[in-house]
A and B are shown apart, each in its own frame.
Chain A
């Protein structure tokens, strides 16, 4: 199981810019739910609060009011029921790929033979079985993020939280990883909540798309594309793909946004 609910989640920051105090309402009564095994994308212009929402769900930032629950249990700080994939992978540079994946597992208390075997299994899953002894700077951007995904999946979380995981990659690598993520999802059936600013990516991957503007949920859009969607060249040509894409594109471009 892996259901995530945002219930009236609000979060504000105080910023000090040149002696002026700015109050930023990052999240304003955000409510939505992610069903078990579903992929939900959070999309919106920069500063709309999508990353903040993810960080609150991870437990890295506390909400000022409202709550996030995972399978009915309220999120209070980080936990092994959620696995985080960071924007720039954030691998520990002094550890090789294998050790990076093992780090998460060790923190969960996995030891000995099981530790190595689990880490190896997940590196194989992301196609890095042959590069497990490389350190992060010896890996390409796409490989780094594969390790990041393996590290998060290895602890067998109920929910995978991804913060613009492919945003820093070149277009081709990004597409390869999008297909791989869909394959991984088909095999593991994990619930995935991911943040993106790439509209195509959201429509290609997600079952539903949460559109955010200035800290609020603007709309939640169903993506009427069947799975598996392995061949993106076909999916991209479907009228449904373009309809949903255009619908959200209009939403994002109609409302005045604050940058």
Chain B
């Protein structure tokens, strides 16, 4: 998952590098150079390979253009994003309160903690056939797969975050006679935010994978269908288009989450000094 966090940090510096007056190369320059080197090497190596076994950037770009103007790509993206957004959104909405409660209350931790830990390691792919029996082959089962895959990292991170809240901060609340719910909302929740955001970030990668799995194993649709159909036709260049779109999407979402984090928890970046980087 570290590979997902990296580009976010790099793009985070883009808006702030004006202050970097030291003689250091700005992060975005390094990122752009890195991407350029990878693309050039891929292009050179890829052209030597039989187009069934591999592809290269310009061929993929051409396939992308074709998919785009035929309208196929837009439709597939729309099909994929609907269950993705709903499942991932639900996981955030459910995961944060569950994590807060499990972390805060001894009884909840003892009663539910092990299901959360087990759920995180659950081989979800194996359960997809069962989910199909329950929910059918359509939209609902895709939402469920995305939801189940992204829920647990969010719960676990929130839970860990609550456990890591300094006891003294809670005692500040107690000493001013703050009710439990106020302590949870105004002390524990903000103190846990960096962990929650990390969980939401980790969940992005899992949600993207879940979306494709769901499209492979249920009604073949969306970006997953583009992958399968082009693979079946030995059209490797076209197959790469949705894969790269998904990876770019993950990077974009990750950046968006980082941006949201700096908005809702600005003190965090200030404390760690990342705002001046």
Contacts and interface: CB of A to CB of B under 8 A. Distances in A.
A92 B178 contact: no
B176 A104 contact: yes
Contact of B168 (A90, A93, A103, A138): A90
A86 B267 contact: no
A221 B105 CA distance: 45
Contacts of B171: 60, 86, 90
Contact of B169 (A59, A92, A137, A155): A92
Interface residues on A, range: 20 to 34
Given A94-B267, A137-B270, A137-B271, A58 B175 contact: yes
Interface of B, secondary structure class, is helix
A137 B267 contact: yes
Nearest to B272: A137
B169 A94 contact: no
Interface string B5-39: 00000000000000000000000000000000000
B267 A135 contact: yes
Interface stretch (B58-66, B80-88, B182-190, B228-236): B182-190
Contact of A78 (B169, B175, B182, B187): B175
Interface string A3-27: 0000000000000000000000000
Interface residues on B, range: 10 to 19
A94 B190 contact: yes
A78 B174 CA distance: 7
23 contacts: A59-B175, A60-B171, A78-B174, A78-B175, A79-B177, A84-B172, A84-B175, A90-B169, A92-B190, A93-B191, A94-B190, A103-B176, A104-B176, A107-B173, A107-B177, A107-B178, A107-B182, A135-B270, A137-B267, A137-B270, A137-B271, A138-B270, A155-B176
Interface of A: 58-60, 77-80, 82, 84, 86, 88, 90, 92-94, 103-104, 107-108, 135, 137-138, 155
Interface of B: 168-169, 171-178, 182, 186-187, 190-191, 265, 267, 270-271
